[in-house]
């Protein structure tokens, strides 16, 4: 497989991996040093399955620490019940709680009252979406005919995947080098597997979190300058599992590294004007992505954009 340089020219990151673009920080600090001519914003959403917020500072990734400091970061965002992967992803992509979409286990069932999700809405407004994932149940998150590229790669340990999403990330980076979708979703599943196999917050779980951040760092380095990078999780975990209505399972990180070149930032007269909400929920991610891309939310969506 072709090796992709994480710090290639044109990426969001500078030589230090974090420099070169304007950012909205926790305190609203901005550094408007670089402008590009491209006015069409893009969004990459990287989701690390089962990543607890308190695992990030403990995993030993310097990049993660620096990234969160320079992002609009919600360290106590909430997911939905049940705190299980497919129900949580359905809520993320459709901006409604499981009581509304009806998917309450990891087996997909078509909603009785269907709602257009994020991918359908973006396609309706001619925004191209690409998806990379290594847990096959996610295939039902979007309806056929709405993505320009979807790539499933097994995350099965028995197939030789060792708690590591690097190979899937390689495919996403190779795609990013030749294509520039408006929205790219990268699902990294290895952390959840490590949690189930070794326990949440165990040494091997934390190593998987660090590996996920290494993948995110490479994506950051390869992303276009007008790209907002969002990092989140579907749920947390405790012991050897998750699914309960307790803080360890329900609390997720949501970090937005907002490009000043997004339509939302421009219409607000610069990234420094982009204000964040006080609290965040997983159902807020879809309306945030549409806001960043200048697309209206679906009227049935129940979440709110995290940027104003």
Does 234 engage in binding with Zn ion (CB under 5 A)?
Answer: no
Minimum gap (Å) between residue 246 Cβ and Zn ion: 15
Does 165 engage in binding with Zn ion (CB under 5 A)?
Answer: no
Closest to Zn ion by CB, 192 vs 226, is: 192
Straight-line distance from the first to the last Cα atom of the chain, in angstroms, rounded to the nearest whole number: 41
User: How far apart are alpha carbons 192 and 242 in whole angstroms?
Assistant: 10
Minimum gap (Å) between residue 205 Cβ and Zn ion: 11
Closest to Zn ion by CB, 65 vs 248, is: 248
Closest to Zn ion by CB, 193 vs 295, is: 193
Q: Among 25-33, 70-78, 184-192, 221-229, which window interacts with Zn ion (CB under 5 A)?
A: 184-192
Does 192 engage in binding with Zn ion (CB under 5 A)?
Answer: yes
Q: Among 18-26, 118-126, 167-175, 191-199, which window interacts with Zn ion (CB under 5 A)?
A: 191-199
Q: Among 192-200, 247-255, 274-282, 291-299, which window interacts with Zn ion (CB under 5 A)?
A: 192-200
Minimum gap (Å) between residue 243 Cβ and Zn ion: 8
**DSSP per position, the chain:** -----TT-TTSS--TTSS-SS----TT---------S----EEEEEEETT--HHHHTTTT-HHHHHHHHTSEEEEEEE--SS--HHHHHHHHHH-S-HHHH---SSS----SS----HHHHHHHTT--EEEEES-GGGGGGS-TTS-SEEEE----GGGT--S--HHHHHHHHHHHHH---SEEEEEE-HHHHHHHHH-TTSHHHHHHHHHHHHHHHHHHHHS-TTEEEEEE-S---BTTB--SSSHHHHEEEEEEE--TTSHHHHHTTSGGG--B-SS-BGGGHHHHHHHHTT-PPPTT-----SB-
Does 284 engage in binding with Zn ion (CB under 5 A)?
Answer: no
Closest to Zn ion by CB, 51 vs 118, is: 51
Minimum gap (Å) between residue 242 Cβ and Zn ion: 6
Does 261 engage in binding with Zn ion (CB under 5 A)?
Answer: no
Residue 232's contacts (CB-CB under 8 Å, 6 or more residues apart) are 45, 46, 47, 48, 77, 92, 252, 253, 254, 255, 282, 285
Q: Among 102-110, 185-193, 269-277, 289-297, which window interacts with Zn ion (CB under 5 A)?
A: 185-193
Minimum gap (Å) between residue 52 Cβ and Zn ion: 12
The token pair at 58 is 């403990």
Closest to Zn ion by CB, 232 vs 272, is: 232
Closest to Zn ion by CB, 208 vs 227, is: 208
Q: Among 104-112, 137-145, 186-194, 271-279, which window interacts with Zn ion (CB under 5 A)?
A: 186-194
Minimum gap (Å) between residue 192 Cβ and Zn ion: 4
For binding to Zn ion (CB under 5 A), which residues are involved?
Answer: 192
């Amino acid at each position: 497989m072709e090796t992709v340089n994480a710090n290639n020219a044109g990426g969001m990151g500078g030589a230090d991996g974090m420099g070169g673009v304007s950012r909205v920080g926790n305190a609203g600090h901005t550094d408007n040093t670089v402008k590009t001519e491209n006015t069409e914003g893009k969004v990459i959403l990287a989701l690390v399955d089962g990543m607890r917020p308190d695992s990030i500072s403990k995993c030993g990734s310097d990049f993660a620490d620096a990234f969160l400091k320079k992002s609009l970061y919600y360290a106590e965002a909430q997911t939905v019940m049940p705190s299980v992967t497919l129900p949580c992803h359905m809520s993320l992509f459709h901006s409604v709680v499981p009581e509304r979409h009806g998917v309450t286990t990891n087996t997909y069932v078509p909603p009785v009252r269907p709602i257009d999700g994020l991918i359908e809405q973006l396609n309706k407004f001619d925004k191209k979406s690409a998806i990379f994932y290594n847990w096959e149940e996610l295939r039902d998150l979007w309806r056929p005919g709405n993505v320009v590229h979807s790539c499933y790669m097994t995350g099965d340990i028995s197939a030789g995947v060792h708690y590591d999403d690097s190979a899937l990330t390689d495919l996403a980076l190779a795609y990013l080098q030749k294509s520039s979708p408006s929205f790219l979703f990268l699902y990294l599943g290895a952390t959840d597997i490590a949690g189930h196999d070794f326990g949440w917050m165990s040494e091997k779980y934390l190593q998987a979190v660090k590996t996920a951040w290494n993948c995110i760092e490479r994506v950051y380095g390869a992303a276009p300058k007008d790209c907002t990078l969002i990092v989140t999780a579907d749920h947390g975990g405790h012991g050897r599992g998750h699914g309960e209505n307790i803080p360890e399972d329900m609390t997720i990180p949501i970090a937005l590294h907002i490009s000043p070149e997004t339509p939302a930032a421009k219409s607000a007269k610069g990234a420094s004007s982009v204000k964040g909400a006080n609290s965040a929920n997983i159902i807020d991610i879809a309306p945030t992505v549409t806001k960043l891309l200048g697309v209206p939310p679906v009227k049935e969506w129940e979440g709110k954009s995290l940027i104003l």
